[in-house]
């Protein structure tokens, strides 16, 4: 085999192996590879591949509930910012069992990126009771009553370790967003993924971190179409900042947009 042909084959083979590795990671994280049954919180007790594809159930064992569509979106956008040299770390605000962040760290590992971090922002104690006086949109919210949403930092760390991905490139911001995010030691972000389920959590994350997202970076909102308070927080924030992004659909639940200079665009 000639040198040029060998080099071409090596590039193609590397790409194939990375793709296989990340596809396998996604299937493991979402539970589709072992078809674990869902928690009964949403009424079902049997594995349904359609529900799992779109993240419409709460898995009993899998490391994320966001489904394969939204996992694929994370991979697409992370690979985009890496390929285009968009500066910054990655963060998810609201990590549950850690699956979305595990995927981000796996992508960095696959491409041998050593100068970026994945930030995990979470109370690791579940969601806060709604502050109805300050955030009326959260009135009646009962996410704080679900024990299934209370995942400890030790559990998340153990989940990372199962994939061999808990290291110095994983950083933790433990506590309520209003306390941890405003002074977080983050210079730039390439990916800001919001999964806080409430108006308050969404607002706190946008208010503290949006101005750290690099031009060309992305904002992902997991709960946009299923939590009215989340959607209202996004709309209110963008209106106050006079931003007019074209929100891109992911799977009928989540949306994302790319940050541009002074405004936001698709």
Using the predicted structure, report yes or no on whether residue 238 has a pLDDT greater than 50: yes
Question: What does each C-alpha distance from 150 to 21, 29, 222 come to in angstroms?
Answer: 30, 18, 18
Quick: pLDDT tens for 82-93. Answer: 999 999 999 999
pLDDT-derived band at 45 (thresholds 50, 70, 90) equals confident
| Total Cβ atoms within 10 A of residue 55 | 24
Using the predicted structure, report yes or no on whether residue 145 has a pLDDT greater than 50: yes
Angle at 115 between CA 109 and CA 120, to 5 degrees: 70
pLDDT of residue 41: 67
Q: State the average pLDDT for the chain.
A: 94
Average pLDDT over residues 5-16: 90
pLDDT-derived band at 265 (thresholds 50, 70, 90) equals very low
Average pLDDT over residues 215-228: 97
pLDDT of residue 91: 98
Angle at 156 between CA 51 and CA 90, to 5 degrees: 80
Bridge-based pairing state of the strands 189-194 and 89-93: parallel
Average pLDDT over residues 135-150: 92
Quick: pLDDT tens for 32-41. Answer: 999 999 987 6
Q: 23-27, 55-59, 260-264: which range is least confident on average? A: 260-264
Bridge-based pairing state of the strands 189-194 and 213-221: parallel
262 or 143: which leads in pLDDT? 143
| Total Cβ atoms within 10 A of residue 169 | 18
The pTM of this model reads 0.95
Using the predicted structure, report yes or no on whether residue 43 has a pLDDT greater than 70: no
Quick: pLDDT tens for 59-73. Answer: 999 999 999 999 999
Average pLDDT over residues 181-194: 98
pLDDT of residue 266: 39
Using the predicted structure, report yes or no on whether residue 262 has a pLDDT greater than 60: no
Residue 249 belongs to what H/E stretch?
strand 248-249
Q: In sequence order, which residues have a C-beta less than 8 Å from that of residue 109 and are 6 or more positions away?
A: 165
Domains delineated in the chain? 67-265 (3.40.50.150)
Of the candidates 168, 224, 217, the one whose C-alpha atom is nearest the C-alpha of residue 194 is: 224
Token digits for 23?
A: 């596809």
Quick one: DSSP state of residue 258? E
Using the predicted structure, report yes or no on whether residue 240 has a pLDDT greater than 50: yes
* Residue 170 and residue 105 in contact, taking contact as beta carbons nearer than 8 Å: yes
pLDDT of residue 264: 43
pLDDT of residue 206: 98
Using the predicted structure, report yes or no on whether residue 181 has a pLDDT greater than 50: yes
Q: In sequence order, which residues have a C-beta less than 8 Å from that of residue 85 and are 6 or more positions away?
A: none
Quick one: DSSP state of residue 183? T
Quick: pLDDT tens for 95-123. Answer: 999 999 999 999 999 999 999 999 999 99
Q: In sequence order, which residues have a C-beta less than 8 Å from that of residue 51 and are 6 or more positions away?
A: 38, 44, 57
* Residue 127 and residue 228 in contact, taking contact as beta carbons nearer than 8 Å: no
């Amino acid at each position: 085999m000639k040198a040029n042909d060998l080099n071409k084959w090596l590039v193609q083979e590397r790409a194939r192996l990375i793709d296989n590795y990340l596809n396998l990671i996604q299937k493991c994280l979402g539970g589709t590879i072992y078809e674990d049954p869902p928690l009964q919180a949403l009424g079902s007790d049997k594995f349904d591949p359609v529900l799992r594809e779109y993240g419409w159930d709460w898995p009993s064992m899998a490391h994320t509930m966001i489904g394969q569509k939204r996992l694929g979106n994370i991979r697409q956008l992370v690979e985009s910012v890496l390929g285009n040299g968009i500066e910054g770390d990655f963060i998810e605000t609201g990590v549950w069992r850690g699956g979305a962040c595990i995927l981000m760290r796996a992508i960095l590992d696959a491409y041998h990126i050593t100068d970026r971090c994945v930030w995990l922002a979470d109370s690791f104690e579940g969601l806060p009771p709604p502050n109805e006086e300050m955030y009326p949109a959260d009135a009646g919210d009962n996410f704080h009553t679900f024990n299934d949403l209370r995942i400890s930092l030790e559990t998340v760390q153990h989940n990372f370790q199962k994939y061999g991905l808990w290291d110095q490139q994983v950083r933790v911001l433990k506590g309520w967003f209003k306390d941890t995010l405003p002074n977080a030691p983050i210079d730039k972000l390439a990916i800001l993924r919001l999964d806080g389920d409430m108006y308050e959590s969404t607002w706190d994350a946008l208010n503290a971190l949006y101005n750290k997202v690099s031009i060309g970076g992305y904002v992902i909102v997991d709960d946009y179409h299923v939590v009215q308070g989340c959607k209202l927080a996004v709309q209110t924030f963008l209106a106050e900042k006079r931003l007019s992004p074209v929100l891109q659909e992911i799977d009928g639940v989540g949306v994302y947009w790319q940050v541009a200079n002074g405004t936001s665009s698709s």
